[in-house]
Amino acid sequence: MRRAWLTKLLGAISIAGILILIALPLLSLLLRTPLPTLITALRQPLVAQAIQLSLITSLCTTVAIVVLGLPLAYLLAMHDFPGKRLVEAIVDLPMVLPPTVAGVGLLLAFGRTGLLGSVLRPLGIAIPFTTFAVVLAQTFVAAPFFITAAAAGLREVERRYLDAAATLRGTPAYTFWRVMLPLSARSLVAGAAMSWARALGEFGATITFAGNLQGRTQTMPLAVYIALQTDLDAAVALSVILLIVSLTILIALRSTPFGLNTRTRALRRSS
Amino acid sequence: MLSAVLRKALGAFQLDVALEVDGGSTLVLVGESGAGKTTVLRLLAGLAQPDEGRIVLDDSVYFDSERGVAAPAWTRSVGYVAQDYGLFPHLTIVDNVAFGLRAQGVEARIVRERVAAMLARFDLIGFRERHPHDLSGGQQQRVALARALVLDPHLVLLDEPLSALDLQTRRILRGELRQILAGLPGVTVYVTHNPMEAIAFGDKIAVVEAGRITQVGTAGDLLRHPRTGYVAEFMGVNLFQGRIRERDQGGLVRIGLDAGEISVIDPGGDGEVLVAVNPREIMLYATAPEGSARNVFEGIVTEIVAEPPFGERVRVAIAARPPLVAEVTQQAVAALGLREGLRVYAAFKATGTVPYR
């Protein structure tokens, strides 16, 4: 009896502790600066350029991840092959790798003396410290979120629908577009959104591989870091935007039609 | 005309069957669950490939292990209706039915015409824009059929098409389905475990037991001359297997069974014989009967089942030597006070038996 009481108390303290730890910084960000000051801060070139660059690069990254990642997700979902475990581990790796390590790796691959960089250099192509490098860095760290979610979603499409499509003259390609994609749309959209959010927040790999050049490689997280030393209001303004975007994505994934598969959505509509 | 030899190992299970079905006719596959019926359909459809064998439909070779032919499912002229229908949940009824034609790249105008004709034929016009989950089981079943048949397949494969439906819908659809199948020019293979459906749909019935076909024939063949205990039970007749032991006067022989002995019309020859006895030939008595019946057995009633449920005839299983199933009227049940556990006498005449080899 005493123990049950103690357990409840400890549980309550833990829950309060973790919620305060997560919520307090977020609340502090939102309450720190009054709205007019925030809007003024957004007009500064440093902030405006960072927002523009972040939007462009993160969207390019998301498109690249979906286009390049979907075939791999299909392969992982539908086929067994030797070394599949290894491929899956490599795909997941960037999720646990420190982003700065990813940046160093990218530098060693695409840098002037890097494996591929040294081949590209005589052709007049230099990747590091360009906007393209930002996209590469974001793709590297954000791709696993989409590929994992997409593979899981494609794997969940029930066998009976694929069988039905096959006996209705559906080639694997036709079946992929007309049956697999619509039935796994929820996972694909969710995965893409997670990748986009991760790309938007990318810091370590970007600053290591692409540098911190205002207007070219200085994305919002980098601008936050720089502004923190000179202009706290600007840093807070950028942080608030990033916070709102992240929160919106997570809430959207849980509540809007994207958060449901076609069947439950249709069921809801009919009821 | 379908001709198939299918061999496939699935773990410890070994499928080994050969089928010949004429164009315009229906072969019904019956057997217990796990006997391999659905596997046969999947192999014919191309959803799985045999380890070895041949599948030839009219002039098309779909599979030939010796020549290395294995046509993928989407190239075969097959209409496959799975037990759970597999209707696409994200597509409307009209898009479900149009799926196969669109997959083949058929012109939009022709797709529209053929789908509309099919929806009309299956009484589905009012459901065009609905989704499958808005439909009842019977309607879903008709959509699945329409979706498969709109492609004019040469081979139609139906896996327990009525089993997911309630009794009333099943009865209505059984009639509809029989008309539809009778009008098909190609080959139909129909899987069921329901004897009524097998008799209603099968020009021929093939019995699958543990991955093998143990008997093929018309319903009449199976009823008169069942070759295995399962076939006899499926058709609802008594089957005895034994050896001729002794010849009596009057053209009768006594046959020794594993349990007991029966007296039947002399089939001639010696050795192993099968004897089928229609359950209606078996009479039940409360006391030992006197009279001409050669075969009288005493035993305990183990089961009483009305067939069909609430029908006027009743099947009575009796634990005698040999075990028997009799079919009697409800009046007889009442008159004898039949109940499970009651000791009764069961009798049938030697002339009521059908011995064969």
Taking alpha carbons only, the member of B30, B152, B183, B157 closest to residue B86 is B157
Q: What are the backbone dihedrals phi and psi of residue B209, each rounded to the nearest 5 degrees, phi first? A: -130, 120
| Position A220 confidence tier, pLDDT thresholds 50, 70, 90 | very high
Looking at residue A264, its pLDDT comes to 46
Find the closest chain B residue to A270 by CA distance: B134
Residue carrying structure tokens 């065009």: B128
**Which positions in chain A touch B80 (Cβ < 8 Å)?**
163-164, 167
pLDDT of A265 above 80? no
Which one of B49, B57, B88, B140 makes the best mutation probe of the A interface by having the most chain A beta carbons within 10 Å?
Answer: B88
The residue written with tokens 């791709």 in the block is A143
Residue of B nearest to A181 (CA): B90
Across the range A192-213, mean pLDDT stands at 93
> Is a pLDDT exceeding 80 seen at residue A214?
yes
Mean pLDDT calculated for residue range B51-67:
96
With beta carbons less than 8 A apart as the criterion, state whether B324 and B236 touch: no
> Residue A257's pLDDT band (boundaries 50, 70, 90)?
low
Alpha carbon distances (Å) from A42 to A20, A57, A114, A134, B194: 29, 19, 38, 22, 74
Residue A119 is predicted with a pLDDT of 85
Asked whether the beta carbons of B143 and B97 are under 8 A apart, the reply is yes
Least confident of A23-27, A130-134, A158-162, B149-153: A23-27
The three-class DSSP label of residue B124 is: coil
Supply A90's token pair.
């490599």
Contact across the interface for B89 and A262, Cβ inside 8 Å: yes
H or E stretch including B206? strand B204-209
Phi, psi of B243 (to 5 degrees): -120, 145
Least CB-CB distance to A160: which of B84, B99, B131? B84
Q: Residue B333 pLDDT > 90, yes or no?
A: no
Q: Name the percent of chain B lying above pLDDT 70.
A: 100
- The arithmetic mean of pLDDT across residues A89-108, rounded, is 93
Alpha carbon distances (Å) from A71 to A58, A74, A199: 21, 5, 20
C-alpha distances in Å from residue B266, one per residue of A2, B158, B238, B255, B269: 88, 43, 18, 10, 8
User: What single-letter amino acid sits at B125?
Assistant: I
**Per-residue pLDDT for A118 more than 90?**
no
What is the average pLDDT value for chain A, to the nearest integer? 88
Contact map slice: B 147-186 vs A, CB within 8 A:
147-148, 151
pLDDT at B148: 96
Decide if B99 touches A, using CB distance below 8 A. yes
Please tell me the distance from the alpha carbon of residue A177 to that of residue A175, in angstroms, as a whole number: 6
Which residues in chain B touch residue A262, judged by CB atoms under 8 angstroms apart? 89-90
Q: For the residues B274-289, what does the mean pLDDT come to?
A: 90
Per the model's pLDDT, the better-predicted residue between B67 and B331 turns out to be: B67
Residues of B in contact with A270 (CB under 8 A): 131, 133-134
pLDDT reported for residue B310: 72
Neighboring chain A residues of B88 at a CB cutoff of 8 Å: 161, 164-165, 179, 183
Q: Is B105 on the interface with A (CB under 8 A)?
A: no
The residue that leads in pLDDT, B290 or A211, is A211
- Give pLDDT, residue B293: 74
Q: Tell me, what's the pLDDT at B215?
A: 94
pLDDT band with cut points at 50, 70 and 90 for residue B245: confident
* For range B54-76, the mean pLDDT: 96
| Predicted local distance difference test score (pLDDT) of residue B151 | 96
Residue A204 clears pLDDT 90, i.e. is over it: yes
Q: What is the pLDDT of residues B304-317, one digit of tens each?
A: 988 777 778 889 99
Under 8 Å CB pairs connecting chains A and B tally to: 78
- 3-state class of B12 per DSSP? coil
Give CB contacts under 8 A, 24+ apart, made by B206-210: B206/B17, B206/B19, B206/B27, B206/B28, B206/B29, B206/B30, B207/B30, B207/B31, B207/B231, B207/B234, B208/B17, B208/B29, B208/B30, B208/B31, B208/B35, B208/B36, B208/B37, B208/B40, B209/B31, B209/B32, B209/B35, B210/B35, B210/B36
Contact (CB<8Å) A183/B89: yes
Q: How far apart are CA A195 and CA A141, in angstroms?
A: 9
What number is the average pLDDT over the span A164-189?
Answer: 95
Interchain pair B90, A169: CB under 8 A = no
**B86-128 confidence digits (pLDDT tens):** 999 999 999 999 999 999 999 999 999 999 999 999 989 999 9
Q: Which candidate from B42, B90, B100 shows the least CB-CB separation from A182?
A: B90
Residue with the larger pLDDT of the pair B349 and A1:
B349
User: pLDDT digit string (tens) for B180-195?
Assistant: 888 899 999 999 988 8
pLDDT exceeds cutoff 50 at A258: no
Closest CA of chain B from A146, distance in Å: 23
Q: How far apart are CA A157 and CA A180, in angstroms?
A: 6
- In angstroms, rounded to a whole number, what is the distance separating the alpha carbons of residues A46 and A230? 11
Identify the pLDDT of residue A262: 44
Is it the case that residue A259 has pLDDT exceeding 80?
no
ipTM: 0.83
The torsion defined by the Cα of B316, B318, B322 and B325, in degrees rounded to 10, comes to 0
Q: What percent of chain A has pLDDT over 90?
A: 62
* Beta carbons within 10 angstroms of residue B194's beta carbon: 17
Chain A residue numbers with beta carbons less than 8 Å from the beta carbon of B133 are 263, 266-267, 270
Q: What is the mean pLDDT of residues B24-37?
A: 92
